[in-house]
Structure 1
Amino acid sequence: MAKNFNEILETLSGLDYSGMYNSDFLHTWDKTTDELKALYETAAAIRNLRERNISSRIFDSGLAVSLFRDNSTRTRFSFSKGSNLLGLELQDLDEKKSQIAHGETVRETATMISFMADVIGIRDDMYIGAGDAYMAEVSESVQQAYADGVLDHRPTLISLQSDSDHPTQSSADMLYLIEEFGGLENLKGKKVAVTWAYSPSYGKPLSCPQSLISLLPRFGMDVTLAHPEGYDLMPEVVEKAKAYAAESGATFKQVNTMAEAFEGADIVIPKSWAPFAAMEQRTKLYAAGDDAGIAALEKELLAQNATHKDWVSTRELMATTANGQDTIFMHPLPADISGVSCENGEVMADVFEDHRIGMYKEASYKPYAIAAMMFLQKVKNPVETLRALEAAATPRWNQQ
């Protein structure tokens, strides 16, 4: 059963998350366990207010700026909704229509969009090393502009997915699991399969699986990472997963078959990703402007993918999990659905349909995760502010 509002505030009061104020949210591994717990409690509080038709707006005016360097549906609209929940207007930065197209520097762009911006959200996940480096440069630029007195405030930066981590997605996943299992404490000991699955495309980011393996073990979940040989993730993130598992008393293991990962799992998360080595190679080819090399690499990787079409979620595989067809099946969406969105894909149509409602619910938590990230980084006294919002009881939606 979900906590009531006062219980949420009581839990929040017992956590140390002061370091989140006036900071950025770029990776979950940058945050302490208390800070992550505070994020989940704050998201629950904001959702609680909305469900009771109470406004959670802390801004009377202000701007959130988004920059998407890769396609997005759920994260784009979740960032918009999260901004709106707190009272911010959204402006999307289109690089093709800005002076960035004419060579404007990152420092100048970051400063210019920050005069009235309270939050900046960036998705940059396509090239190894590039996304994290770009966000770090934006962060350093606005910090310097604030220190120089150019800005009267320090905008907070939120990663909407980089080449290494997808913190808004994994945070939404955690919120969904907390609700499904009736509390964060009930996740300890749950067996999770984070597994590669076949896709007819080749360049899917590594950040989705990496965000899961580096976060779930921190809360005592036993994670099995499965992928064919050659589809390795970033070594440093795998090492983080091992370290977090050791610290929490959980387990982290790697296998090379989907069947091993599904066996006895309480939660399965099958999702395609590109091999780390191939993504490194692609990044170098793009930097060199080698179009022929990129085309050759794509052809090679698609052929390699095609040798693993048996890596697909089926009802037969689901039957081997802890709760059979009722086991929690997760995916960040959109999924490659065999016979629906593609001929062969990550999941069979019947399995997707069995779990469609659950995956839609999973996605519904992302606006609250993003709003909570903003809230904790913009509000000095979150508990008092949440209590004041409830006391004011300003209707979100006025009805007679």
Structure 2
Amino acid sequence: MDKTQEFKKIMEELGKLKFNEMYENDFFLTWEKTSDELKATFAVADALRNLRERNISTKIFDSGLGISLFRDNSTRTRFSFASACNLLGLEVQDLDEGKSQIAHGETVRETANMISFMADVIGIRDDMYIGKGNTYMREVSEAVKDGNATGVLEQRPTLVNLQCDIDHPTQSMADMLHIIHEFGGVENLKGKKIAMTWAYSPSYGKPLSVPQGIIGLMTRFGMEVVLAHPEGYEIMPEVEEVAKKNAAESGGSFKKVNSMAEAFKDADIVYPKSWAPFAAMEKRTNLYGEGKFDEINKLEKELLAQNGNHKDWECTEELMKLTKEGKALYMHCLPADITGVSCEAGEVEASVFDRYREPLYKEAGFKPYIIAAMMFLSKVKDPKELLEKLEELGKKRVLDK
């Protein structure tokens, strides 16, 4: 199928879906979206990629800002957000809180409105503290919504969750689109087993939002989702309940085990990734709120020592042999802790990582399009009509091609 026919097929699928409520709305958590809304996001992402591959411009904005706020370090998500904004024609402005009036006591409401006079989208990454990140994002959303309603803002910027304490929707959606492409369509995912497992890391405090995002999304599509971790490395119980509910509704399954080998057995997909225990992250948040930074340092040392008891939780060639036909798709949000490369002992053997390097990079490459699709669906009243118009106009992205 050539790219033109592929585009028409994507448009046909998009035309069957109901997603009107995404217009002028935010994207916080995947489980707040309907199945049609998730499928529409995948379809628009594929459509935008298709047009770009055909050298067709997808700039729907002549002016405007995409505001980014990263309260944690980021490479892939930061550049993916910037790429997504640029793809649609928005300029990017990063909010550096250290250089703003936030340090002088400026309120969330005031900051949100002051940065949004000509902003169309706000992307926030705030994943460090349990109970804080998602709450902060919703505060910002309410502030700009009110600013628009009262006439302070000419438009209401929509918000995209670039990772919070609960979910990492741009990552899990990019991961899912990668899986959809690898297995030849969303209709082929039912019954496929994915092992979301903890893995050893020599570093502390990796967010819970990646494993939570994976079990919260993959259970929507009838997949057999297994969450594996050593005892004491539990995630948020409310997200586990979301996964159970999703699995029951989709005809899939969700279960927990304390064995990496059991999770890998006959798996179609494996996702070995370190994270910090929910109880410890909750304790860390409380200590931060009380200003007990010495206690936080002490907690970090305790958790690093605890991690050291589970160095056998590593994605090895032997474990990969347990997967379906020994050929499971290995996934990671990157950067991975690679044994003998980035660290002495880590999440994955170097030979496993090297074998999957190309698909891993392809997996990461879906994120700019997923973010752009989230923006597109929130800012465009009739996405299908506009996408078809962009194709019809055929304005070249690069003039000499």
Q: Distance in 1 between matches of 2:138 and 2:66?
A: 18
> Which residue in the other structure is 1:378 paired with?
379
**Map of 2:325 onto structure 1:** 323
Q: Aligned with 1:307: secondary structure?
A: helix
- 1:178-229 Cα shifts (integer Å, max 9, x gaps): 1111111111111000000000112000000000001001011110100000
| Aligned-pair CA distance for 1:37 | 0.5
Q: What is the correspondence of 1:117-136 to structure 2 with a 5 Å cutoff?
A: 117-136=119-138
Q: CA deviation at 1:129?
A: 0.6
Gaps of 5+ in 1: none
State the shift of 1:20 in Å: 0.1
CA distance in 1, matches of 2:44, 2:186: 14
Match of 1:237 among 211, 236, 239: 239
Q: Give the alignment of 1:159-308 within 5 angstroms.
A: 159-308=161-310
Which residues of 2 match residues 12-91 of structure 1 at below 5 A?
Answer: 12-91=14-93
Which string of whole-angstrom CA distances, capped at 9 and with x for unpartnered residues, describes residues 127-158 of structure 1?
Answer: 00110110010001001111111111110000
In 2, Cα distance between equivalents of 1:132 and 1:146: 21
- Structure 1 position 342, deviation (Å): 0.5
State the alpha-carbon separation in 2 of the partners of residues 291 and 6 from structure 1. Answer: 56
- Offset at residue 101 of structure 1 (A): 1.4
Give the deviation of 1:327 after TM superposition.
1.7
Aligned-residue RMSD, C-alpha: 0.9
How far, CA to CA, are the matches of 2:222 and 2:325 in structure 1?
Answer: 20
| 2:382 maps to amino acid | N
Partner Cα separation in structure 1 for residue 350 and residue 383 of structure 2? 44
Which residue number in structure 2 is paired with residue 344 of structure 1? 345
Residue 398 of structure 1, CA deviation: 1.1
> 1:395: which partner in 2?
396
Task: Using the aligned pairs only, state the percent identity.
Answer: 67
Amino acid at match of 2:367: K
Give the deviation of 1:328 after TM superposition. 0.4
Q: What residue number does 1:368 align with?
A: 369
Measure, in 1, the Cα distance between the counterparts of 2:332 and 2:61.
33
What is the aligned counterpart of 1:150 among 149, 152, 156?
152
**How big is each residue's C-alpha offset from its partner over 1:206-265, in whole Å with a ceiling of 9 and x where there is no partner?**
000000001001011110100000100000000000000000110111000100000000
Residue segments in structure 2 that go unaligned for 5+ positions in a row:
none
Aligned to 1:6: 8
Report the CA distance between 1:86 and its aligned residue. Answer: 0.3
Cα distance in 2 for partners of 1:349, 1:156 equals 41
Q: 2:381 is matched by which residue type in structure 1?
A: K
Aligned residue type for 1:260: E
Displacement of 1:323 after TM fit? 3.0
Query: Normalising by the residue count of structure 1, what TM-score does the alignment of the two structures yield?
Result: 0.99
| Superposition deviation, residue 308 in structure 1 | 0.1
TM-score normalised by structure 2 residue count: 0.98
Q: CA deviation at 1:313?
A: 0.4
Distance in structure 2 (CA, Å) of the matches to 1:247 and 1:145: 38
Match of 2:100 among 98, 101, 121: 98
Q: Structure 2: how far apart are the matches of 1:327 and 1:127?
A: 33
| One-letter code aligned to 2:41 | L
Q: Please list every run of at least 4 consecutive aligned residues from structure 1 whose deviation after the TM superposition is greater than 3 angstroms.
A: none
